[in-house]
C-alpha cells in the first residue's frame, strides 16, 4: 500500500537511505562498545564494565528505533553485517587488545562523528520538509552528545 503522509516517494527514499547509513554506523558502534565491555580490565574494571553496558544498551534501543522509523517511512532497514560494513562511516576495531584509555577515546571519536553526521542529516531532513525525522534525529543526536560527554569525562 502506498504511503500518503505528505512526503514524495523520492523524499522518502532519500530519508530512508540517510537513516540506513546511520543504522549501519550504530551497529558498528554497538559492536565496538560491546567488545570493550567484554575486554576492559584494570583496577576500575567493574565500573567500566557497567558503564560500557549502559552505553551499548542505549545504542541497542536506538538501533531498534531507527529500524522502525525506516519501516514507518516505507523503507527496508539494512539487516546484514555485510550491509552494515558497506554503509558505515565508522571503523571496526579489529585490535586484539586495546588499552582502557584507548577504548574511551575510540568510542568518543565515534560518538562525535555520529553527532557531526546527525547535524548534517537533520539539516537534510529539514530541507526535505520531513519534520518528523528531523525531530527524531535531533533526539538521537542529544543522546549521543550525552554519551560523548560521559566518555570525555573519563578522559579528562
Task: State the DSSP code for 79.
Answer: -
Backbone φ, ψ for residue 76 (5° rounding)? -120, 120
pLDDT at 79 over 90: yes
Average pLDDT over residues 136-155: 97
pLDDT at 120: 98
pLDDT at 100 over 70: yes
pLDDT at 4: 76
pLDDT bucket at 3, cuts 50 / 70 / 90: confident
Q: Note the pLDDT tens digit of each residue in 124-137.
A: 999 999 999 999 99
Domain boundaries, the chain: 9-155
pLDDT at 5: 78
Q: Note the pLDDT tens digit of each residue in 21-74.
A: 999 999 999 999 999 999 999 999 999 999 999 999 999 999 999 999 999 999
CB distance 126 to 135 below 8 Å = no
The answer for residues whose C-beta is within 8 angstroms of residue 30's C-beta and 6 or more apart is 56, 59, 60, 63
pLDDT at 111 over 80: yes
Q: Note the pLDDT tens digit of each residue in 81-97.
A: 999 999 999 999 999 99
Average pLDDT over residues 100-108: 97
Handedness of CA 80, 72, 58, 123 (dihedral sign): positive
pLDDT at 1 over 70: no
pLDDT at 104 over 80: yes
Q: Does domain 9-155 have CATH number 1.20.1260.10?
A: yes
Amino acid at each position: 500500500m502506498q504511503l500518503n503522509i505528505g512526503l514524495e516517494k523520492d523524499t522518502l527514499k532519500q530519508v530512508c537511505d540517510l537513516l540506513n547509513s546511520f543504522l549501519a554506523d550504530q551497529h558498528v558502534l554497538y559492536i565496538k562498545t560491546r567488545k570493550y565491555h567484554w575486554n576492559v580490565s584494570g583496577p576500575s574494571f567493574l565500573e567500566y564494565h557497567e558503564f560500557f553496558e549502559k552505553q551499548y544498551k542505549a545504542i541497542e534501543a536506538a538501533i531498534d528505533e531507527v529500524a522502525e522509523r525506516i519501516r514507518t517511512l516505507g523503507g527496508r532497514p539494512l539487516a546484514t553485517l555485510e550491509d552494515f560494513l558497506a554503509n558505515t562511516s565508522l571503523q571496526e576495531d579489529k585490535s586484539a587488545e586495546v588499552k582502557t584509555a584507548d577504548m574511551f577515546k575510540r568510542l568518543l571519536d565515534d560518538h562525535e562523528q555520529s553527532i557531526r553526521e546527525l547535524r548534517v542529516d537533520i539539516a537534510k531532513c529539514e530541507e526535505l520538509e520531513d519534520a518528523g525525522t528531523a525531530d527524531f534525529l535531533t533526539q538521537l543526536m542529544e543522546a549521543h552528545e550525552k554519551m560523548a560527554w560521559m566518555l570525555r569525562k573519563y578522559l579528562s
